């Protein structure tokens, strides 16, 4: 119960930050318009590992749609988040530490270490960004566009997400 | 049932994933203008080709239907043409058209069976009494004569072809007042002989042969063939004219049965009724 309230608050906060703050940040410079910061996947990444697969997909969908509503791009973010939600179990298995995960672990620097969180976040965030920009450009005719946007946005988003990890790490 | 549940437990999240992505994709292409445009364009690009192939197959499957409808259309046009010719006195040999329009009923039909290599050849049409075909009606294709209906069953009818030893068709030379009978005496399926044209006639090679209209079988002015050679009959008063047919009877698949005989009869009955009543 306490957990679900925590998640809901987190959900709302993260979306508010995304759509009220980050959406307005314009990092374009002349022709260079490749940076769009997306930190809201962090909500998905922070959910505990033993979260039900079904629910996880649905949460991903709801998260994406919520962001989409504010971005006026119905379905684009949701497509990316649902995909992230789907691949997370595989990614987790792939980067599983030798001692395994404790049962209801949330990924945090304190428990799993900085480099693990970095790798975990990078993989999923990159997938998210790549899928998002692919769906946004929505044409295989502009692969350079997709890749440039993905890479620059990914770097900036990743930095911010890692900062958030540091700032809000649970005291232990 | 248990298997189904097991299946859902194992692959349910995959199905849900696909389902959600499908929803997202539909949302994307439905509510985002640029994506929508791209989607429609590319869908057209890729499906267009598939579509056209499928259409071609479909067309092929519908060929019979298309044929039939074309046949009906052709018959309508043909009757209009004949009526038009009658109305404008285009044919000089109108024996019996008292009125300006002579409405022909033209019954299109497929050829069900044919003999072509004998001395006396027949077509069997896939239509008969039930479709309005009667004994004595003329049978043509769009570019020439075929023969005359000899006998009718309920759903089939037999046609004596031009290529029959007993076939006699009254024909004329177009724009000249000579007429005669068209008979088949050779073994060549495109060559006929025209008889009973007097020796004093002024003929040219290449003259067009049309139906004369002096019979109740064919309306006048239907194209039949052209003169390839002519020579005086030995010991007679007439020319022996070789005619090459315009149409190829051998390859005819679809024919038109002209209802003119019937029409005349009905007209006669009608006027009798009027007179008595």
- Tell me what ipTM this predicted complex has: 0.85
Number of domains in chain A: 1
Chain B positions touching A78 (Cβ under 8 A) are: 20, 23-24, 27
Query: Residue B104 has what pLDDT?
Result: 62
Which range of B15-19, B41-45, B165-169, B215-219 scores highest in mean pLDDT? It is B15-19
State percent of chain B over pLDDT 70: 85
CA within 13 Å, CB half, A170: 9
Which residues in chain B have their CB less than 8 angstroms from residue A86's CB? 13-14, 17
The predicted pLDDT at position A98 comes to 81
B5 interfaces chain A, CB cutoff of 8 Å: no
pLDDT at B95: 46
User: Does the CB of B43 have a partner CB in chain A at under 8 Å?
Assistant: no
* pLDDT, tens digit, 9 for 90 and up, residues A103-151: 667 788 888 888 899 999 999 999 999 999 998 888 777 888 889 989 9
Once rounded to an integer, what is the mean pLDDT over residues A13-28?
87
Terminal alpha carbon distance of chain A: 22
Any domain includes A138: yes
B18 at A interface, C-beta within 8 A = no
Residue A66 has pLDDT above 70, yes or no: yes
Residue A110 resides in a domain: yes
Cβ separation of A57 and B32 shorter than 8 Å? no
Helices (H), B62-106: 63-87
In a domain, A172, yes or no: no
- Please tell me which residue of chain B has the smallest CA distance to A64: B24
Q: What pLDDT is stored for residue B93 in this prediction?
A: 46
- Which residue range forms the structural domain that includes residue A113? 2-167
- Inside any domain, residue A27: yes
CA–CA distance, B136 with B147 (Å, rounded to integer): 10
Structure-derived torsion over alpha carbons of residues B190, B148, B208, B75, reported in degrees to the nearest 10? -100
Cross-chain Cβ contact A75/B12 below 8 Å: no
Q: Return contacts of A119-124, CB within 8 angstroms, 24+ apart.
A: A119/A95, A120/A45, A120/A91, A120/A92, A120/A95, A121/A42, A121/A45, A121/A158, A121/A161, A121/A162, A121/A165, A122/A154, A122/A158, A123/A91, A123/A95, A124/A41, A124/A44, A124/A45, A124/A84, A124/A87, A124/A88, A124/A91
Question: How far lies A76's CA from each of A147, B205, B241, in Å?
Answer: 17, 80, 83
Q: What is the pLDDT of residues B134-150, one digit of tens each?
A: 888 888 887 788 898 88
Q: Residue A79 and residue B24: Cβ atoms within 8 Å?
A: yes
Taking the CA atoms of A96, A102, A103 and A106 in sequence, report the sign of the dihedral they define: negative
Q: Which of A54, A76, A79 sits opposite B16 (nearest CB)?
A: A54
Q: Residue A75 is nearest to which of B12, B16, B25, comparing CB atoms?
A: B25
**pLDDT score recorded for residue B63:** 82
Does A157 score more than 90 pLDDT? yes
Only one residue has tokens 């410079």, namely: A29
Instruction: Give the model's pLDDT for residue B271.
Output: 59
- Taking one residue from A and the other from B, the number of pairs with CB-CB distance under 8 angstroms is 67
Q: What is the pLDDT of residue B101?
A: 44
Query: What count of other Cβ atoms lies within 10 Å of the Cβ of residue B13?
Result: 19
CB B205 within 8 A of CB B238: no
Query: Does B16 sit within 8 Å of A79, measured CB to CB?
Result: no
- Chain B neighbors of A138, CB-CB under 8 A: 28, 32, 34-35, 38-39
Using CA coordinates, name the residue in chain B closest to A77. B24
| Most confident option among A26-30, B12-16, B176-180, B256-260 | B12-16
Confidence band for A12, pLDDT divided at 50, 70 and 90: very high
B28 with A64: Cβ contact below 8 A: no
Which of B274, B255, B210, B263 minimizes the C-alpha distance to B109? B255
CATH 3.40.50.300 fits B90-277, yes or no: no
Q: Which is more confidently placed, A92 or A27?
A: A92
Nearest to B20 among A57, A68, A139 (CB): A57
Tokens representing B77 are 């046009």
Confidence at B221, pLDDT banded by 50, 70, 90:
confident
A138: nearest CA partner in chain B? B35
Using one digit for the tens of pLDDT, what is the confidence trace for B17-71? 999 999 999 988 888 888 888 788 777 777 778 878 887 887 788 788 778 878 8
Tell whether B26 lies on the interface with A, counting CB pairs under 8 A: yes
Interface residue ranges in chain A relative to chain B, Cβ cutoff 8 Å: 53-54, 57-58, 60-61, 64, 68, 73-76, 78-79, 82-83, 85-86, 135-136, 138-139
Shortest Cα distance, chain A CAs vs residue B19, angstroms: 10
Contact between chains at A53 and B13 (C-beta distance less than 8 A): yes
Q: What is the pLDDT of residue A156?
A: 93
Closest chain B residue to the Cα of A72, Cα to Cα: B32
Q: Say if residues A37 and A161 touch (Cβ distance below 8 Å).
A: no
| Residue B30, min C-alpha distance to chain A (Å) | 9
Percent helix, percent strand, percent coil in chain A, to nearest 5: 70, 0, 30
Q: What is the model's pLDDT at position B128?
A: 87
At B58-116, the pLDDT tens digits run: 778 878 877 887 888 887 787 777 776 666 555 544 544 454 445 567 888 888 888 88
Q: What is the model's pLDDT at position B223?
A: 85
């Amino acid at each position: 119960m306490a957990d679900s309230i925590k998640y809901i608050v987190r959900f709302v906060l993260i979306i508010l930050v995304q759509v009220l703050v980050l959406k307005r940040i314009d990092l374009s410079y002349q022709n260079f318009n490749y940076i769009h910061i997306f930190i809201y996947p962090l909500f998905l990444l922070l959910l505990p590992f033993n979260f039900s697969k079904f629910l996880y997909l649905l949460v991903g969908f709801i998260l994406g749609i919520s962001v989409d509503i504010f971005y006026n791009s119905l379905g684009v973010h949701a497509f990316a988040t649902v995909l992230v939600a789907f691949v997370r179990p595989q990614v987790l298995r792939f980067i599983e530490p030798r001692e395994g995960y404790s049962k209801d672990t949330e990924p945090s620097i304190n428990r799993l270490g900085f480099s693990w969180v970095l790798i975990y976040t990078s993989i999923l965030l990159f997938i998210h960004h790549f899928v998002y920009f692919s769906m946004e450009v929505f044409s295989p005719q502009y692969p350079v566009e997709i890749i440039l946007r993905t890479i620059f946005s990914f770097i900036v988003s990743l930095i911010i997400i890692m900062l958030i990890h540091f700032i809000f790490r649970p005291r232990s | 049932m248990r298997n189904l549940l097991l299946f859902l437990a194992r692959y349910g999240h995959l199905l849900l994933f696909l389902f959600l992505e499908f929803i997202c994709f539909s949302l994307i292409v439905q509510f985002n203008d640029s994506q929508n445009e791209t989607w429609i364009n590319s869908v057209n690009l890729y499906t267009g080709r598939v579509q056209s192939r499928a259409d071609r197959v479909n067309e092929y499957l519908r060929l019979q239907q298309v044929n039939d409808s074309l046949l009906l259309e052709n018959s309508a046009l043909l009757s209009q043409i004949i009526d038009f010719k009658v109305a404008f006195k285009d044919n000089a040999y109108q024996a019996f058209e008292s009125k300006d329009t002579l409405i022909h009923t033209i019954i299109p039909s497929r050829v069900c069976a044919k003999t072509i290599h004998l001395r006396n050849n027949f077509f069997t049409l896939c239509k008969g009494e039930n479709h309005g075909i009667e004994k004595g009606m003329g049978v043509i294709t769009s570019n020439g004569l075929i023969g005359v209906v000899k006998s009718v069953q309920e759903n089939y009818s037999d046609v004596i072809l031009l290529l029959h030893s007993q076939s006699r068709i009254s024909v004329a030379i177009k724009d000249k007042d000579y007429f005669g009978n068209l008979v088949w005496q050779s073994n060549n399926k495109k060559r006929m002989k025209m008889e009973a044209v007097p020796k004093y006639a002024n003929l040219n090679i290449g003259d067009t042969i049309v139906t004369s209209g002096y019979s109740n079988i064919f309306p006048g002015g239907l194209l039949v063939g052209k003169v390839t050679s002519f020579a005086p009959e030995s010991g007679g008063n007439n020319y022996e004219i070789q005619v090459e047919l315009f149409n190829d009877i051998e390859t005819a698949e679809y024919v038109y049965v002209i209802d003119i005989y019937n029409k005349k009869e009905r007209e006669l009955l009608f006027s009798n009724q009027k007179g008595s009543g």
